[in-house]
Amino acid sequence: MRDVAIIGTGCTKFGELWDRSLRDIFVEAGVSAIVDAGIQGEEIDGLYMGNMSSGRFVEQEHVGSLIADYSGLASKLHVPATRVEAACASGGLALRQGILAVASGYADIIVAAGGEKMTDVDLDTATDALAAAADREWEGIMGATFPGLYAMIARLHMHKYGTTSEQMAAVSVKNHHNGTMNPIAQFRNEITLDTVLQSNMVADPLHMFDCSPISDGAAAVVLAPADVAKKYTDTPVYVKATTQASSPISLHDRADITTLDASMVAGQRAYKMAGLTPDDIDLVEVHDCFTIAEICAIEDLGFFKKGDGGRASEDGETAIDSSIPVNPSGGLKACGHPVGATGIKQAVVITEQLRGTAGKSQVDGAGIGMTHNVGGSGGTAVVHIFSRDR
């Protein structure tokens, strides 16, 4: 197997992009990444595209071919394009497929992208499309919603560990604060604990401001063999680990509802693959689709003891200037969560941080970064570790 590096990144603005289509945003992100890497279309050996539900959101399937076509890569070059789906982990998994293709030696230059256009449909339809990431026949039919499933995780976390609504709200306040420094973020405003606690109850104990928004957006990275990465860029970012784990799709089938064991296992596999421990990670982008999800993630990935994630969040131990900055981009909560794009956007953020080009949210001396992308309520987890040094 060969070492792999990221040599270019691209990202659209995240938010309600009513004047843009799915193909527009995919192409914009892809072209920016290609320009950033300084490569030509002829050099591209393949595309991997994370997308959860274009059939539901824009009534378009077969987006691999569609995007290859509108990127100008289909008609003469016939570049292979593959869509990858794992609910909200689709982007992370597309990245992983791209890395595996380069690592295996089967391909040299790969563009891994992710995108979702969620605001073309009404809220009811969007909510229903997202509910398809849970078990429709045994969770959805009972009236379960996505916030509802995470609310049940939150309720048990509160019961077992004394986690409070204020501690969960602190996650949202921190991520909104980080979002103010991120030019592509959907929300760039500060909020207070009261903003969260006084917002509408969606599924008790989760308020509206405990939930990530419905968003449009796309992101892309260009991958190359590490041996030739310096030919393209002075600041390649090296892939130290790519891992994935599955868990029962239904929340009720998990041994411990407060632990996303797919995250835990994907994390452990990643530390082993990279030969690192949680102490070596300088910053992490985790899957905070709900505030409780960030609390579970920082526990499941080994940054805090199980049950301690709420207290740590409240005490500022995950802020940008702490020992483990969590979601410096604003996370899914403030940056936005176009489901298929999220896993790639996380890699773009970490790449910028390791290159030292993250602007106001730059983490001092960032050398090793991690991404954590979850599908559904934890049926899939994808973890990557990246390093500035090879």
Partner 1 sequence: MTVSRFWRKIPHRYNLIGTHCTNCGEYYFPPRQMCPTCRRDGKIESYQFEGKGEVITYTVIHTAAKGYANQVPYNLAIIKLNEGPSLTGQVICEPGELEIGTRVRSVFRKLGEESEKGMIYYGTKFVVE
* CA-based nearest residue to 37, from 114, 111, 115: 111
User: Which residues are bridge partners to 46 per DSSP?
Assistant: 110
Return the structure tokens found at 297: 């993630």
Residues near partner 1 (CB under 8 A), total: 35
Contact pick of 31, 77, 100, 156 for partner 1 (by CB under 8 A): 156
**Residue whose CB is less far from partner 1, 180 or 250:** 250
The answer to the question of residue 152 lying near partner 1 (CB under 8 A) is: yes
The answer to the question of residue 213 lying near partner 1 (CB under 8 A) is: no
The answer to the question of residue 159 lying near partner 1 (CB under 8 A) is: yes
The answer to the question of residue 137 lying near partner 1 (CB under 8 A) is: yes
The answer to the question of residue 145 lying near partner 1 (CB under 8 A) is: yes
The answer to the question of residue 204 lying near partner 1 (CB under 8 A) is: yes
Q: Which stretch binds partner 1 (CB under 8 A): 71-79, 103-111, 132-140, 333-341?
A: 132-140
CA quadruple 312, 176, 211, 221: dihedral sign: negative
Angle between the N-to-C axes of helices 291-300 and 261-274, in degrees from 0 to 180, rounded to the nearest 10: 40
Angle between the N-to-C axes of helices 63-70 and 22-37, in degrees from 0 to 180, rounded to the nearest 10: 60
Instruction: For the CB of residue 146, give the shortest distance to partner 1 in the complex, in Å.
Output: 9
Cβ proximity of 147 and 375 under 8 Å: no
The answer to the question of residue 151 lying near partner 1 (CB under 8 A) is: yes
Cβ proximity of 302 and 267 under 8 Å: yes
**Separation of alpha carbons 87 and 132, rounded Å:** 8
State which H helix or E strand residue 311 sits in. Answer: helix 309-314
The answer to the question of residue 138 lying near partner 1 (CB under 8 A) is: yes
Is the link from the previous residue into 325 a cis peptide, with omega within 30 of 0?
no
* CA-based nearest residue to 297, from 89, 15, 87: 89
Q: Which stretch binds partner 1 (CB under 8 A): 5-13, 134-142, 183-191, 349-357?
A: 134-142
**Residue whose CB is less far from partner 1, 1 or 141:** 141
Q: Is 337 a catalytic residue?
A: yes
The answer to the question of residue 164 lying near partner 1 (CB under 8 A) is: no
Contact pick of 140, 302, 307, 356 for partner 1 (by CB under 8 A): 140
The answer to the question of residue 127 lying near partner 1 (CB under 8 A) is: yes
Catalytic residue (choose from 176, 207, 287, 337): 337
The answer to the question of residue 339 lying near partner 1 (CB under 8 A) is: no
**Separation of alpha carbons 247 and 22, rounded Å:** 30
Q: Is 177 a catalytic residue?
A: no
Q: Which stretch binds partner 1 (CB under 8 A): 39-47, 163-171, 199-207, 274-282?
A: 199-207
**Residue whose CB is less far from partner 1, 194 or 253:** 253
Binding flags for partner 1, 243-262, as an x/- string (CB under 8 A): -------xxxx---x-----
Contact pick of 141, 183, 364, 365 for partner 1 (by CB under 8 A): 141
Three-class SS string for 232-256? HCCCCEEEEEEEEEECCCCHHHCCC
State which H helix or E strand residue 216 sits in. Answer: strand 216-225
**Residue whose CB is less far from partner 1, 257 or 281:** 257
Contact pick of 139, 282, 299, 314 for partner 1 (by CB under 8 A): 139
Instruction: For the CB of residue 259, give the shortest distance to partner 1 in the complex, in Å.
Output: 13
The answer to the question of residue 190 lying near partner 1 (CB under 8 A) is: no
Distance between start and end Cα atoms, the chain = 15
Return the structure tokens found at 293: 């999800």
Contact pick of 66, 203, 260, 339 for partner 1 (by CB under 8 A): 203
Residue by residue, DSSP assigns 13-76 as PPB--TT--HHHHHHHHHHHHHHHHT--GGGEEEEEEE-S-HHHHTS---HHHHHHHHTT-SSS
Contact pick of 202, 262, 349, 385 for partner 1 (by CB under 8 A): 202
* Chain residues that interact with partner 1, rule: CB under 8 A: 124-125, 127-128, 131, 136-145, 147-148, 151-153, 155-156, 159, 200-206, 250-253, 257
